Structure 1
Amino acid sequence: MSDTPKDQDPIEMLKRMWSGAGVPLPGMVAPTLDIDELDKRIGDLRTVEHWLKMNLNMLQATVQGLEVQRSRLAALKAMATQTSASAGGAGTAQDNPFVAAMWPWNMMQPPPADSDKSAKPPDKTPAARKPRARK
Protein backbone atom coordinates (compact mmCIF):
# COMPACT_ATOMS: atom_id res chain seq x y z
CA MET A 1 0.00 0.00 0.00
CA SER A 2 2.95 2.29 0.16
CA ASP A 3 2.81 2.67 -3.63
CA THR A 4 -0.51 4.46 -3.61
CA PRO A 5 -0.42 8.20 -4.49
CA LYS A 6 -1.93 9.32 -1.20
CA ASP A 7 1.00 7.87 0.77
CA GLN A 8 3.64 9.90 -1.12
CA ASP A 9 5.05 13.07 0.41
CA PRO A 10 4.28 16.13 -1.80
CA ILE A 11 7.64 17.72 -0.96
CA GLU A 12 9.48 14.62 -2.12
CA MET A 13 7.48 14.66 -5.32
CA LEU A 14 8.51 18.30 -5.94
CA LYS A 15 12.13 17.51 -5.20
CA ARG A 16 12.11 14.65 -7.72
CA MET A 17 10.42 16.89 -10.29
CA TRP A 18 12.99 19.67 -9.86
CA SER A 19 15.95 17.32 -9.75
CA GLY A 20 14.98 15.88 -13.11
CA ALA A 21 14.95 19.35 -14.66
CA GLY A 22 18.57 20.03 -13.69
CA VAL A 23 17.64 23.21 -11.84
CA PRO A 24 18.16 23.35 -8.07
CA LEU A 25 15.11 23.58 -5.86
CA PRO A 26 14.44 27.23 -5.03
CA GLY A 27 14.34 28.24 -1.37
CA MET A 28 10.78 29.55 -1.64
CA VAL A 29 9.28 26.10 -2.29
CA ALA A 30 9.96 24.95 1.26
CA PRO A 31 9.37 28.08 3.38
CA THR A 32 11.34 28.43 6.55
CA LEU A 33 9.64 28.64 9.91
CA ASP A 34 12.46 30.51 11.66
CA ILE A 35 11.57 34.18 12.30
CA ASP A 36 15.22 35.25 12.42
CA GLU A 37 15.88 33.67 9.04
CA LEU A 38 12.83 35.42 7.59
CA ASP A 39 14.00 38.77 9.03
CA LYS A 40 17.41 38.20 7.45
CA ARG A 41 15.85 37.43 4.06
CA ILE A 42 13.58 40.48 4.31
CA GLY A 43 16.58 42.66 5.17
CA ASP A 44 18.58 41.26 2.27
CA LEU A 45 15.74 41.79 -0.17
CA ARG A 46 15.19 45.36 1.08
CA THR A 47 18.89 46.04 0.55
CA VAL A 48 18.65 44.74 -3.01
CA GLU A 49 15.50 46.83 -3.54
CA HIS A 50 17.25 50.02 -2.37
CA TRP A 51 20.25 49.25 -4.55
CA LEU A 52 18.03 48.73 -7.58
CA LYS A 53 16.13 51.96 -6.86
CA MET A 54 19.43 53.85 -6.60
CA ASN A 55 20.56 52.43 -9.94
CA LEU A 56 17.20 53.32 -11.47
CA ASN A 57 17.48 56.90 -10.19
CA MET A 58 21.00 57.22 -11.57
CA LEU A 59 19.85 55.85 -14.91
CA GLN A 60 16.92 58.27 -15.04
CA ALA A 61 19.21 61.20 -14.19
CA THR A 62 21.61 60.18 -16.95
CA VAL A 63 18.81 59.93 -19.50
CA GLN A 64 17.41 63.30 -18.41
CA GLY A 65 20.84 64.91 -18.70
CA LEU A 66 21.28 63.53 -22.20
CA GLU A 67 17.83 64.79 -23.19
CA VAL A 68 18.70 68.29 -21.93
CA GLN A 69 22.02 68.19 -23.79
CA ARG A 70 20.24 67.10 -26.97
CA SER A 71 17.66 69.88 -26.72
CA ARG A 72 20.38 72.49 -26.16
CA LEU A 73 22.36 71.28 -29.15
CA ALA A 74 19.23 71.27 -31.29
CA ALA A 75 18.43 74.84 -30.20
CA LEU A 76 21.98 76.00 -30.94
CA LYS A 77 21.88 74.35 -34.34
CA ALA A 78 18.54 76.01 -35.14
CA MET A 79 19.91 79.39 -34.03
CA ALA A 80 23.01 78.92 -36.18
CA THR A 81 21.00 78.10 -39.27
CA GLN A 82 18.67 81.03 -38.63
CA THR A 83 21.61 83.40 -38.14
CA SER A 84 23.37 82.19 -41.26
CA ALA A 85 20.17 82.57 -43.29
CA SER A 86 19.56 86.12 -42.07
CA ALA A 87 23.22 87.11 -42.50
CA GLY A 88 23.17 85.96 -46.10
CA GLY A 89 20.36 88.38 -46.97
CA ALA A 90 21.17 91.54 -45.04
CA GLY A 91 24.88 91.43 -44.25
CA THR A 92 24.95 94.95 -42.72
CA ALA A 93 26.42 93.91 -39.38
CA GLN A 94 28.97 91.71 -41.10
CA ASP A 95 30.22 94.52 -43.37
CA ASN A 96 31.43 96.73 -40.52
CA PRO A 97 33.16 94.81 -37.71
CA PHE A 98 32.96 97.87 -35.41
CA VAL A 99 29.15 98.06 -35.36
CA ALA A 100 28.97 96.15 -32.09
CA ALA A 101 31.37 98.60 -30.42
CA MET A 102 29.36 101.65 -31.53
CA TRP A 103 26.29 100.94 -29.38
CA PRO A 104 27.08 103.80 -26.91
CA TRP A 105 26.99 106.31 -29.75
CA ASN A 106 23.57 105.07 -30.76
CA MET A 107 22.35 105.58 -27.19
CA MET A 108 23.46 109.23 -27.07
CA GLN A 109 20.93 111.96 -27.75
CA PRO A 110 21.58 114.17 -30.76
CA PRO A 111 22.45 117.81 -30.01
CA PRO A 112 19.60 120.32 -30.17
CA ALA A 113 18.97 121.91 -33.57
CA ASP A 114 19.72 125.47 -32.38
CA SER A 115 23.13 124.57 -30.95
CA ASP A 116 24.78 125.22 -34.32
CA LYS A 117 23.65 128.87 -34.32
CA SER A 118 24.97 129.69 -30.87
CA ALA A 119 28.36 128.12 -31.39
CA LYS A 120 31.20 130.50 -32.30
CA PRO A 121 33.03 129.90 -35.51
CA PRO A 122 36.63 128.91 -34.92
CA ASP A 123 39.29 131.60 -35.19
CA LYS A 124 40.93 131.21 -38.58
CA THR A 125 43.88 133.52 -37.92
CA PRO A 126 47.05 131.82 -36.94
CA ALA A 127 48.10 132.43 -33.40
CA ALA A 128 50.85 134.93 -33.00
CA ARG A 129 54.13 133.34 -32.22
CA LYS A 130 56.47 134.75 -29.72
CA PRO A 131 59.99 135.10 -31.00
CA ARG A 132 62.44 132.79 -29.39
CA ALA A 133 65.21 134.24 -27.43
CA ARG A 134 68.65 133.43 -28.76
CA LYS A 135 71.39 132.45 -26.46
Structure 2
Amino acid sequence: MNPEFNPADPFAMFRQLLQSATPPGAQPFLPPMSEEEVDRKIAELKVVETWLTMNLGMLSMQIKTLEMQKAALAALKPKDK
Protein backbone atom coordinates (compact mmCIF):
# COMPACT_ATOMS: atom_id res chain seq x y z
CA MET A 1 0.00 0.00 0.00
CA ASN A 2 1.20 3.51 -0.75
CA PRO A 3 2.65 5.16 2.39
CA GLU A 4 0.91 8.42 1.39
CA PHE A 5 -2.51 6.74 1.30
CA ASN A 6 -5.07 8.61 3.36
CA PRO A 7 -8.56 7.06 3.60
CA ALA A 8 -9.94 10.45 4.66
CA ASP A 9 -9.00 11.88 1.24
CA PRO A 10 -10.60 9.66 -1.45
CA PHE A 11 -9.50 11.96 -4.27
CA ALA A 12 -5.79 11.92 -3.42
CA MET A 13 -5.07 9.20 -5.99
CA PHE A 14 -6.87 11.12 -8.75
CA ARG A 15 -5.11 14.34 -7.78
CA GLN A 16 -1.74 12.58 -7.96
CA LEU A 17 -2.56 11.06 -11.37
CA LEU A 18 -3.69 14.43 -12.67
CA GLN A 19 -0.57 16.18 -11.44
CA SER A 20 1.71 13.58 -13.02
CA ALA A 21 -0.20 13.54 -16.32
CA THR A 22 -0.29 17.29 -17.00
CA PRO A 23 2.75 19.43 -17.64
CA PRO A 24 3.33 22.40 -15.30
CA GLY A 25 1.19 25.40 -16.20
CA ALA A 26 -1.29 23.41 -18.30
CA GLN A 27 -5.00 23.57 -17.66
CA PRO A 28 -6.12 19.94 -17.28
CA PHE A 29 -9.87 20.52 -17.59
CA LEU A 30 -9.86 23.17 -20.30
CA PRO A 31 -7.42 22.00 -22.95
CA PRO A 32 -6.96 24.33 -25.91
CA MET A 33 -9.37 23.29 -28.65
CA SER A 34 -9.63 24.12 -32.28
CA GLU A 35 -12.94 25.17 -33.81
CA GLU A 36 -13.34 21.69 -35.30
CA GLU A 37 -12.83 20.07 -31.89
CA VAL A 38 -15.41 22.40 -30.34
CA ASP A 39 -17.91 21.59 -33.12
CA ARG A 40 -17.29 17.85 -32.66
CA LYS A 41 -17.79 18.15 -28.90
CA ILE A 42 -21.04 20.09 -29.39
CA ALA A 43 -22.30 17.40 -31.78
CA GLU A 44 -21.41 14.64 -29.29
CA LEU A 45 -23.20 16.44 -26.46
CA LYS A 46 -26.29 16.95 -28.62
CA VAL A 47 -26.37 13.20 -29.29
CA VAL A 48 -26.20 12.55 -25.54
CA GLU A 49 -28.93 15.14 -24.95
CA THR A 50 -31.17 13.45 -27.52
CA TRP A 51 -30.56 10.04 -25.96
CA LEU A 52 -31.36 11.36 -22.47
CA THR A 53 -34.52 13.10 -23.73
CA MET A 54 -35.67 9.86 -25.35
CA ASN A 55 -35.04 7.94 -22.12
CA LEU A 56 -36.92 10.56 -20.13
CA GLY A 57 -39.88 10.18 -22.49
CA MET A 58 -39.86 6.40 -22.11
CA LEU A 59 -39.61 6.72 -18.33
CA SER A 60 -42.53 9.15 -18.23
CA MET A 61 -44.59 6.82 -20.42
CA GLN A 62 -43.86 3.87 -18.13
CA ILE A 63 -44.85 5.88 -15.05
CA LYS A 64 -48.14 6.90 -16.69
CA THR A 65 -48.81 3.30 -17.73
CA LEU A 66 -48.27 2.08 -14.18
CA GLU A 67 -50.51 4.84 -12.83
CA MET A 68 -53.24 3.79 -15.27
CA GLN A 69 -52.78 0.16 -14.23
CA LYS A 70 -53.07 1.14 -10.57
CA ALA A 71 -56.25 3.11 -11.29
CA ALA A 72 -57.72 0.14 -13.21
CA LEU A 73 -56.92 -2.23 -10.36
CA ALA A 74 -58.49 0.17 -7.87
CA ALA A 75 -61.62 0.42 -10.05
CA LEU A 76 -61.95 -3.35 -10.26
CA LYS A 77 -61.40 -3.88 -6.55
CA PRO A 78 -64.66 -4.87 -4.78
CA LYS A 79 -65.93 -2.20 -2.45
CA ASP A 80 -66.83 -3.11 1.12
CA LYS A 81 -70.37 -2.30 2.21
Segments of 5+ residues of structure 1 without an aligned counterpart are: 1-17, 86-135
Segments of 5+ residues of structure 2 without an aligned counterpart are: 1-13
Larger Rg: 1
Residue type matched to 2:68 in 1?
V
Task: Give a deviation string over 1:55-104, Cα, whole Å, max 9, x none.
Answer: 01100100110001101110110xx235xx4xxxxxxxxxxxxxxxxxxx
Q: With a CA cutoff of 8 Å and minimum separation of 6, indicate the structure with the bigger relative contact order.
A: 2
Find the aligned partners of 2:63 and 2:34 in 1 and give their Cα distance.
Answer: 43
Normalised by the length of structure 2, the TM-score is 0.63
Task: Give a deviation string over 1:32-61, Cα, whole Å, max 9, x none.
Answer: 330001000000000001000100110010
Find the aligned partners of 1:31 and 1:65 in 2 and give their Cα distance.
Answer: 46
Once the two structures are aligned, what percentage of the paired residues are identical?
35
What is aligned with 2:44?
A: 44
Count of aligned pairs between the two proteins: 62
Q: Once superposed, which parts of structure 1, at least 4 consecutive aligned residues long, lie more than 2 Å away?
A: 22-25, 30-33
What is aligned with 2:60?
A: 60
RMSD between aligned alpha carbons?
A: 2.6
Normalised by the length of structure 1, the TM-score is 0.39
